[in-house]
Amino acid sequence: MKQQAAFSSIGHWQSIQRVHNRYVKEVNDTLKQWELSRSQFDMLYTLYQQRSATQKSLEATLELSSGSISQTLKKLMQNRLLMRKRIDREKRIILTPTGETLVKESAPVIEVIDERYFKAFTPQDHQTFNQLLNKMQSNHF
Amino acid sequence: MKTNTETLPSACWNTITTYHNHQTKQVNAFLKKWELSHTMLEVLRCLKATTCTSQKEIAQSIQVTDGTISQGVKKLFARQLIKKYRHRKINYFHLTPAGELFLNEVLPAYEAFQAQQFSLLSLAQQKTLYELVTQLHTTQPEEGDAR
């Protein structure tokens, strides 16, 4: 027998979408004071955590196309927040001191926003939430 | 900054964004046969729920910028699915009878499509996910208080 959802699936999707749009808008508005977009911030933050990365590994971590990665990279390099460096014969990308200062200044502010949304979540809730959303993406209709 | 490792909330946000982008792509692909984008459908749904409203109110209601919906609004207007009337320098929109008919055709198919998307989860899991998302909404200040 086909299972029937007790609530509207459109409503369910809309609810997820609304919270996502609201969060993105809030983060983008907040990042304006550092003249950053969310995708630029995510890249800087990733490089801060990983210390260095290759263009390929950034693609994997940030789950973005090579096109949008190279565009973001270009912009951040123009603004002298990132630079390329050869480490062990590999061309890697690292933060400049200015980039590092910017992450140290902005990341705690973004973390406060991130945490505010999830403040009612237990660690178990986080795990369940991630599992369910990941499961939803295993579809290929 | 607390640690050098990613915090749980920011990891969750990455999951949401990835899921959101994935799902939006699926929705847009599904709506192609009606030459609709996800945003255009949201505009129509918003107009169905409230009899008539301004572009700004529509944008607020679906949580996007005015700019994001203006293209879609133009297309819907050109297809005569929506009508506008001007009052005190503000354009208000409402569905035309053709728009109503069109939406009545699209919505059941769209609901079935969304149900299929969620069917990878059991009903209990869908309920859990719904409750968790609701929690994310309720921990936020009221709309309007948000920065």
Give residue-wise pLDDT tens across range B1-29.
Answer: 544 455 678 888 888 888 888 888 889 99
* Residue ranges of B 41-100 with Cβ closer than 8 A to chain A: 45, 62-65
**Average pLDDT over every residue of A24-32:** 92
Which CATH number belongs to the domain containing residue A77 in this structure? Answer: 1.10.10.10
Its domain, for residue A28, covers 9-136
B24 CA to centre of own chain: 10
Q: Which residue in the set A10, A49, A133 is minimally distant from B110, CB to CB?
A: A10
Give residue-wise pLDDT tens across range B66-90.
Answer: 788 888 899 999 999 999 888 888 8
For residues A47 and A82, give the distance between their C-alpha atoms in angstroms, rounded to a whole number. Answer: 9
Provide the pLDDT for residue B59: 86
A44 part of a folded domain: yes
* Number of Cβ pairs < 8 A linking chain A and chain B: 162
Inform me whether the pLDDT recorded for A125 exceeds 70: yes
- In this complex, do A49 and B6 lie within 8 Å of one another by their Cβ atoms? yes
A31 part of a folded domain: yes
* Residue ranges of A 91-120 with Cβ closer than 8 A to chain B: 103-104, 107-108, 110-111, 114-120
Provide the pLDDT for residue B80: 95
A92: β partners: A85
Provide the pLDDT for residue B85: 86
A3 part of a folded domain: no
* Residue ranges of A 22-81 with Cβ closer than 8 A to chain B: 22-26, 29-30, 48-49, 63
- % residues pLDDT > 70 (chain A): 93
If you classify domain B28-109 with CATH, what class do you get?
mainly alpha
**Average pLDDT over every residue of A75-102:** 94
B126 touches chain A (CB under 8 A): yes
- Residues in chain A with CB shorter than 8 Å from the CB of B1 are 103-104, 107-108, 111
A111 part of a folded domain: yes
Number of separate domains in chain A? 1
Inform me whether the pLDDT recorded for B137 exceeds 60: yes
When comparing pLDDT for B139 and A19, which is higher? A19
Asked if the interface predicted TM-score (ipTM) of this complex is over 0.95, the answer is no
Q: What is the 3-state secondary structure (H, E, C) of chain A?
A: CCCCCCCCHHHHHHHHHHHHHHHHHHHHHHHHHHCCCHHHHHHHHHHHHHCEECHHHHHHHHCCCHHHHHHHHHHHHHCCCEEEEEECCEEEEEECHHHHHHHHHHHHHHHHHHHHHCCCCCHHHHHHHHHHHHHHCCCCC
For residues B65 and B43, give the distance between their C-alpha atoms in angstroms, rounded to a whole number. Answer: 12
When comparing pLDDT for B139 and A15, which is higher? A15
Q: Which residue in the set A13, A119, A133 is minimally distant from B15, CB to CB?
A: A133
Res. A2 pLDDT band, cuts 50 70 90: very low
A124 touches chain B (CB under 8 A): no
Summary mean pLDDT of chain A: 88
- Residues in chain B with CB shorter than 8 Å from the CB of A12 are 114, 118, 126, 129-130, 133
**Average pLDDT over every residue of A77-106:** 94
- In this complex, do B128 and A128 lie within 8 Å of one another by their Cβ atoms? yes
Res. B146 pLDDT band, cuts 50 70 90: very low
For residues A9 and B133, give the distance between their C-alpha atoms in angstroms, rounded to a whole number. Answer: 13
Q: Which amino acid is at B34?
A: W
List chain B domain ranges.
28-109
- In this complex, do A135 and B128 lie within 8 Å of one another by their Cβ atoms? no
Give residue-wise pLDDT tens across range B86-120.
Answer: 888 888 899 999 999 999 999 999 999 999 989 88
A1 part of a folded domain: no
When comparing pLDDT for A14 and A100, which is higher? A100
